[in-house]
Amino acid sequence: MNNANTSSSIIDPHGRCIHKMRVQLTDACNFRCFYCMPAQVKFLPSKQLLSATEIIDICSELTNVGINEMRVSGGEPTLRKDFRQIIEGLDELNLLKLGLTSNAYFLDKELPFLKNTNCQHINISLDSLNKQSFAQITKTNYFDTVFQTILQTKAMGFHVKVNVVLLKGVNDAEVFDFIEFSARHKIEVRFLELMKIGPQNAKHEHLFISAREIIQKIEGSEKLTPQSVNCDSTSFNFTTSAGAHIGFIASESQPFCQFCSRLRLTATGILRACLMSEDGINLRYRNKAEYAAILHDVVSMKPNYRIDHIEQPMYQIGG
């Protein structure tokens, strides 16, 4: 672990302070969540992916120009054979915060290793508390592994959040079960609106349910107490009297683009400005001396409004 970088960040043309980055380690995944990827999917050949050394070098340079929070994601980041090497490298950087987003299937064997690193903020996807529905969504039968690993992650003292993508008619009836889960296990649950990204765009209006609708449903029987969050937080959060902590990421109905502080590094080395746009600049094989200028160019590509949809699926962008 290292001392955290508190140096100033990059200010974009719209006055946003850009200091966070999603780092996609791979597009590959062992799950097939239907809203994220098609059942028949072809992943990138590994030689097209940045090596561990390239990822660490690029991330290191970007910390020098103002990025001070990173979250690794995918695809499924724990599928990388050099996952530990990458985390060890990022652990050496001057980051205020290092996080991981995972489906948790391979996570349990990584937890003792992660415990000794700066990577203490772990978000785990769990779209259903019902085994059949989990299988329907993920096309796997790994519910028990994921559920137990969430509890284990919490028990080991990590900051754990469970991500639930709201899917009308699929899991929206489980909202109260998730609230009960949160209160019982003292784990924050975040409900994500389904974004118009990738394979589900055509079915979006049938599957989409807004955070507002869910909040109104909850308020019919529970008092929700708002919690304060950072101004660039993507979620708005509440507690319940029973002690549940829940958050909503309303990317579709209440976009937060005006406060966005994030860039994305894809697994092939593209530094992109926005989840919803393929615009970006390839950092692979670029001279480090060019980084400040590249960063300036990428930051100026950041839209200040919500782009309606993107055909590229989430697993290819890095969620």
Owner of token pair 């974004």: 195
Least distance CB 268 / ligand SF4 (angstroms): 16
Strands (E), the chain: 10-11, 17-18, 20-24, 69-73, 97-102, 119-125, 159-166, 188-193, 225-227, 236-239, 245-249, 262-265, 270-274, 277-282
Tell me how far apart the alpha carbons of residues 69 and 18 are, in angstroms, rounded to a whole number.
10
Tell me how far apart the alpha carbons of residues 69 and 22 are, in angstroms, rounded to a whole number.
9
Report the candidate in 141, 84, 145 with the shortest Cα–Cα distance to residue 115: 84
Least distance CB 9 / ligand SF4 (angstroms): 28
Tell me how far apart the alpha carbons of residues 163 and 217 are, in angstroms, rounded to a whole number.
19
Nearest residue to ligand SAM, scored by beta-carbon proximity? 319
Q: Give the one residue of 69, 76, 91, 110 binding ligand SAM; rule: CB under 6 A.
A: 76
Q: Confirm or reject binding of residue 74 to ligand SF4 (CB under 6 A).
A: yes
Q: Confirm or reject binding of residue 182 to ligand SAM (CB under 6 A).
A: no
Q: Give the one residue of 25, 28, 195, 294 binding ligand SAM; rule: CB under 6 A.
A: 195
Binders of ligand SF4 among residues 117 to 156 (CB under 6 A) are 125
Report the candidate in 278, 285, 246, 245 with the shortest Cα–Cα distance to residue 264: 278
Least distance CB 262 / ligand SAM (angstroms): 14
Q: Confirm or reject binding of residue 153 to ligand SAM (CB under 6 A).
A: no
Least distance CB 77 / ligand SAM (angstroms): 7
Q: Give the one residue of 9, 26, 103, 171 binding ligand SAM; rule: CB under 6 A.
A: 103
Report the candidate in 95, 84, 86 with the shortest Cα–Cα distance to residue 118: 95
Encoded one letter per residue, x for contact with ligand SF4 by CB under 6 A and - for no contact, window 2-31 reads ---------------------------x-x
Count of C-beta atoms within a 10 Å radius of residue 225: 10
Count of C-beta atoms within a 10 Å radius of residue 281: 17
Q: How far apart are the first and last CA of the chain?
A: 25
Nearer to ligand SF4, 76 or 252 (CB): 76
Binders of ligand SAM among residues 212 to 241 (CB under 6 A) are none
Tell me how far apart the alpha carbons of residues 45 and 225 are, in angstroms, rounded to a whole number.
48
Which of ligand SAM, ligand SF4, none binds 78 (CB below 5-8 Å, type-dependent)?
A: none
Q: Confirm or reject binding of residue 211 to ligand SAM (CB under 6 A).
A: no
Q: Confirm or reject binding of residue 247 to ligand SAM (CB under 6 A).
A: no
Q: Give the one residue of 86, 197, 263, 271 binding ligand SAM; rule: CB under 6 A.
A: 197
Tell me how far apart the alpha carbons of residues 19 and 12 are, in angstroms, rounded to a whole number.
11
Which of ligand SAM, ligand SF4, none binds 244 (CB below 5-8 Å, type-dependent)?
A: none
Q: Give the one residue of 9, 26, 102, 235 binding ligand SAM; rule: CB under 6 A.
A: 102
Residue 186, sorted as left (phi over 0), alpha (psi -120 to 50) or beta, turns out to be left
Q: Which residues bind ligand SF4 (CB under 6 A)?
A: 29, 31-33, 36-37, 74-76, 103, 125, 315
